[in-house]
Amino acid sequence: MQTLIENVNIINPFEEVKTNQNVLIEGNVIKEVTAGKIKADNVIDGEDNYLLSGFIDCHTHIFAKGFHKEENMANPLGLHFYNAVPHALQTVNAGVTTIRDCGSADLSFKLAQQRKLFTAPKIHLSITPLVMTGGHFDLLLPSGWDMEIIYPGFPKGRCDGVEEVLKKTREVRRAGADFIKVMASGGVLTTNTSPEFAQFNKKELKTIVNEAKATNMKVSAHCHSLKGMNNCIDAGFSSIEHGTFIDRKTSQKMAEKNVSLVATLLVHQFLAKNGFPAWDSYAAEKTAKLKEIVKVHKENISVAYEVGVNILMGTDSGVIPHGHNLEELTHLTDIGMSADEAIAAGTVRSAEFLGFDNLGLVKENYTADLILVNSNPLDDVSVLSNNDNILKVIQDGFVVK
């Protein structure tokens, strides 16, 4: 099947805007980009709007709706899956065509997307994060009730010691993971943990990395803690998520070792502004930890950017409502990035991190994941924050918005 998008202005990061262009798509690939005339049966008039690559959100939780333990306890398991359908549509409508899910989604979502059962972003799965006993996302409460969602085919994440983390890495891989996610520090959402403390020891972390690398899988760390980040960098992790307490020395080490940072600036700002539901029994504790994080996060990520750490776009959507994804770009420019750099963080650089050399740009022989926007985001990247400004979304050559 051929589709022609005519009369568009093409934006690729760090390149001059190409005006009055025509883009021919064959199947799921961009076949030709030219100012010349092209004939095709299916024609979309771009109306002099702006064409960009579809965005990649490198940190989402597509099944999640706030991670409220009360909801896990009260709702039937099926709702966990049904939630993913509107979440996926909200994500696509925001201009995101690919996500990297950092915990809660399972293989069923990936298969459903591939079979086009509903409109959804393509997904890279971590299945469930590896969690130490008493660590972030160990959801066994003092009452003895375990709030972790498990079911056949979806392994429990809790593990301790070299032998257990080795087996758990294999179990998660068996369940369909594309990468391994590890909770390497405390967090905001889990009671009785603090973001400043490292979790898992060096032997455990190294064991996870060695087992993952045996099948060319990357390992990612949820980590606010400075010590935890250094443990993970030394162990060979590919990315740090959040990185709240990062300093200049650790940033330099990350840059030297090519460890990427998914800063998720949006999530903390959003929660600080909007808070938690009144019925959340742990709202007070989470709010106190959040205040500690918000005041230093932006400043520290600015240092990482200055040093030259590879920063990728990620939002932690699922902790916050889905569909706000491209608001992260505004936060990236707030730490010093240019609009080009912010857009690249959510397109071509994220694509490269995921292992694609044909995704993230509007170019010939690249995958036809594209968005059409009504104004130039290089002039004001915040236009991408408003989903109404994203006129069309194309995924694998098909119009999905």
Q: What is the pLDDT of residues 114-146, one digit of tens each?
A: 999 999 999 999 999 999 999 999 998 888 988
What pLDDT, on a 0 to 100 scale, did the predictor assign at position 96?
A: 98
Poorest-pLDDT segment among 75-89, 267-281, 301-315: 267-281
3-state secondary structure of 27: coil
pLDDT at 110 over 90: yes
CA distances from 319 to 59, 66, 87, 188 (A): 10, 4, 12, 10
Q: Read off the pLDDT of each residue in 268-288 and give the average, rounded to a whole number.
A: 75
* Average pLDDT value over all residues in the chain: 94
pLDDT at 292 over 90: no
Give residue 203's pLDDT band: very low, low, confident or very high (50, 70, 90).
very high
Report the share of the chain in percent with pLDDT over 90: 84
Mean pLDDT (whole number) for 282-287: 73
Query: Which own/partner pairs from 6-10 qualify as long-range (CB within 8 Å, at least 24 positions apart)?
Result: 6/38, 6/43, 6/44, 6/45, 6/46, 7/45, 7/46, 7/47, 7/48, 8/46, 8/48, 8/49, 8/50, 8/51, 8/372, 9/48, 9/49, 9/50, 9/51, 9/376, 10/50, 10/51, 10/52, 10/362
Per-residue model confidence (pLDDT) at position 180: 98
Determine the average pLDDT of the residues in 3-8.
97
- List, for residues 14-69, the tens digit of each pLDDT value: 999 999 999 999 999 999 999 999 989 899 999 999 999 999 999 999 999 988 77
**Whole-model pTM?**
0.96
- Note the pLDDT tens digit of each residue in 358-383: 999 999 999 999 999 999 999 999 99
Q: What are phi and psi of 129, to 5 degrees?
A: -75, 150
Q: Is the pLDDT of residue 244 over 90?
A: yes
Query: What pLDDT shows up at residue 279?
Result: 62
What is the side-by-side order of every strand in the sheet holding 180-183? Answer: 180-183, 219-223, 239-242, 260-262, 311-312
pLDDT higher at 273 or 65: 65
Rounded average pLDDT over 230-244: 98
pLDDT confidence of residue 322: 98
